[in-house]
Structure 1
Amino acid sequence: MDARLRITALLTASTLALALGACGEDGGSAADPTPAGSTTSPTASTSPDETSQPSEEPTSDGSPSEDGGGSETTVPVYFVGDTPQGARLYREFRRVGGDPYVEAARLLTTGDALDADYRSLFPEGAFADVRAEDGAIVVEVADDGWSAPGELSRNGARLAVQQLVYTLQGVAQERLPVRVVDAAGEPAPLFGVTGDLVQAAPLEVLSLVSISGPEEGATVADTFTAGGVASSFEATVPWEVRDSSGKVVVDGFATAEGWMDKLYPWASEVDVSGLEPGTYTFVAMTDDPSGGEGGGPMVDSKTITVE
């Protein structure tokens, strides 16, 4: 599948996921999750545009893998990235084998992000088990190593908890409460937070712009479709292609489907036919009418190879 068809498939899946993003815990709109079990072409990258981000609810693809007759699922994993307004969550879609809850949690806790700009706030360690049970997502801790915030600030602990909530609700494709328990099945704190964990409002914890396609490391040629979700001034999403020196060699903008109250999908055709083959960076950002007075725009970027 060529780059344009691959990214178009990704954006289509993302639009479907958007319908699942309803209200956050404070009644705000959601961003999208694409739960485990949604089906898409095994060769297309299932990257639902975060338009609906969780409340993005889970977003995963249960299509069979073509490799060896095994089965793989596409899961959303939320990592942390820096913005002028502080750390926020960014989402990657990853194909995993095995139980999607367990594998998504493993990627999150190990900080195994494809994008070098992303990281996890979880210290080293792993959960003993993660499963859907009795109308909730049950997360079993292996010990009390994550019971207290440790070196995390209060905001850091809150964002780490939201990493887990957004990721697992994305796998479930449903905004189920996340319940942390010990080996005996008793409620256990996570970074000092107790009780059922629920999703925070997307505009409070998610980046206000993100790229669903092209994916990190994608190879493109001639013209490709870029897209993602954003909440940007007057729905304007500027984008740039930069060379290895950081020079802007192509630029333009997309118009999202809306702004202010939630994250909306955006998409744009990007013409790189005039560029020499090589490695470039595709950058999308929020519009900044203040001219940097508020710290500057939020940004997401992906390394791409132009054939």
Structure 2
Amino acid sequence: MTFPRTLAATGAVLALGVLAGCGDDEPTDKPTPSAATSDVATDSGSATASATGMPSDEASAVPAYYVGTTPQGDRLYREFIQVAGADRLVATAAAITSGDPVDPDYRTLWPKGRFASVTRTADAIEVGLSGDAWLTPGSLQPAQAKLAVQQLVYSLQGVIGERLPVRVTYDGQPATTLLGVPVGDGLTAAPELDVLALVNITEPAEGSVVSGTFTASGRASSFEATVPWELQDSSGKVVLESSAMADGWTDKLYPWTAEVDASELPPGSYTFVARTDDPSGGEGGGPTEDTKRITIK
């Protein structure tokens, strides 16, 4: 899996203004295939953070959730980013608020701004607001504000590998809203099928260089667990196609994997496409899909 972009400590500081400790369960290694297909990082082989919570100079992969268009409306897609020399919670929050995903099909709903702090406690993730602008939705519609909040919740929970609630503070006191969404005792992750895109590619990553036979993987909730995929050349012509089987499909997104034999294709630019199966023939709005632009050498 190729990770084409690394967030350095300076970028995280510019976006958030602080470096904050994020606890002792955050993964520090690039995700293995088993970890990459989970919506939270659960790689049992990952190293734990130091007792001081200081950032590491060694690059590590963390999940960030961005918004993409689907037949069901805007949904969240996951993209792994590399973080070096910065606290992973801080850098992930900076990534989703800066709105600079690697995949050009993704975007963020967050208004420009920064968090004052992002920390992990024993029973929650706490984000501190640097001003009162994010207490209200601003120009966001209610549905957009709710999805933006889920961007934050899914991303931060994915970094630590636990479904801890996200609490919000402003001026040292608990905030009652974030982007106009009630915080209550803490923001929690909405059901996957309500907010996540129904198919997501983990490998190959956007901009990957592959050769021979490569492994494609991701997560999906697709009819009868069937995940059709295809490889298109630079003209959009389909040069390979098949399907993968996910581990399930009815109640959440499940991992899927496919072996793609590109050994007989000429070198060049290609697009890997994975989509949900659509037995209705498009009557329900059509399949959800995710695409990754890759190079075959």
* Shorter-chain TM-score range: 0.7 to 0.9
Contact 1:58 1:171 in 2 (8 A): no
- 2:221 alignment counterpart: 231
- Residue equivalent to 1:10: none
Q: Which blocks of at least 5 consecutive residues in structure 2 are unaligned?
A: 3-23, 50-55
* 1:256-288 C-alpha deviation (Å, 9 max, x unpaired): 111111211111111111211111100000000
Measure how far apart 1:62 and its partner are.
Answer: 5.1
Give the match for residue 89 of structure 1: 76
Say if 2:277 is the partner of 1:287.
yes
Matches within 5 A, 1:181-220: 181-194=169-182, 195=184, 196-220=186-210
Match of 2:9 in 1: none
Higher strand share: 2
Could you say which residue in structure 1 is the equivalent of 2:26?
Answer: 37
Is the aligned partner of 1:129 residue 2:79? no
Counterpart in the other structure of 1:167: 155
Does the C-alpha gap of structure 1 residues 305 and 132 become closer, same or farther in structure 2, counting only changes over 3 Å?
same
Judge conservation of contact 1:235–1:257 (CA < 8 Å) in 2.
yes
Flag structure 1 segments of 5+ consecutive residues without an equivalent.
Answer: 1-5, 8-34
SS at match of 2:73: coil
Identity %: 53
- RMSD of Structure 2 on Structure 1 (CA): 2.3
> 1:151-205, CA deviations, whole angstroms, 9 ceiling, x for partnerless residues?
2111111100000000111112111110011122332421111221111001110
Structure 1 residues 38 and 50: CA distance shift in structure 2, 3 A = closer
Matched AA of 1:292: G
- 2:63 corresponds to: 76
The one-letter amino acid of 1:93's match is: F
In 2 relative to 1, CA 59–71 (structure 1 residues): closer, same or farther, beyond 3 Å?
same
Letter in 1 for 2:140: L
SS at match of 2:290: strand
**C-alpha distance in 1 between matches for 2:234 and 2:273:** 13
Kindly indicate whether the alpha-carbon contact (under 8 Å) linking 1:229 and 1:263 is maintained by their aligned counterparts in 2: yes
Q: Give the aligned length.
A: 266
Mapped partners of 1:150, 1:102: distance in 2: 23
Counterpart position of 1:149 = 137
1:52 aligns with 2:57: no
Change (3 A) 1:215 1:70: same
| Corresponding residue for residue 10 of structure 2 | none
- Distance of 1:59 and 1:144 partners within structure 2: 37
Change (3 A) 1:93 1:133: same
Question: TM-score, with normalisation over the residues of structure 1?
Answer: 0.81
Is 1:252 matched up with 2:242? Answer: yes
Q: What does residue 21 of structure 2 align with?
A: none
SS in 2 for 1:52: coil
Q: Residues 186, 49 of structure 1: CA spacing in aligned structure 2 closer, same or farther, 3 A cutoff?
A: closer
Distance 1:217 1:37, change over 3 A: same
Structure 2 length-normalised TM: 0.83
Retained in 2: the 8 A contact 1:51–1:230? no
In structure 1, distance between residues paired with 2:48 and 2:208: 21
* CA distance in 2 between partners of 1:63 and 1:51 (Å): 20
- Cα distance in 1 between the residues matched to 2:34 and 2:171: 35
- Partner amino acid, structure 1, of 2:264: G
Residues 80-106 of structure 1 show CA distances to partners (whole Å, capped at 9, x for unaligned) of 010011011011111212111110000
Q: Could you tell me how far 1:51 is from its partner in structure 2?
A: 4.2
The question of 1:99 aligning with 2:81 is answered no
Deviation at 1:119, TM superposition (A): 0.5
1:49–1:227: 8 Å Cα contact kept in structure 2?
no
Code of the aligned partner of 2:226: T
Match of 2:264 among 266, 271, 274: 274
Change (3 A) 1:273 1:238: same
Single out whichever of 278-287 and 88-97 deviates more from structure 2: 88-97
Distance in structure 2 (CA, Å) of the matches to 1:82 and 1:50 = 22
Distance 1:261 1:214, change over 3 A: same
Question: Equivalents in 2 of 1:189, 1:99: separation in Å?
Answer: 25
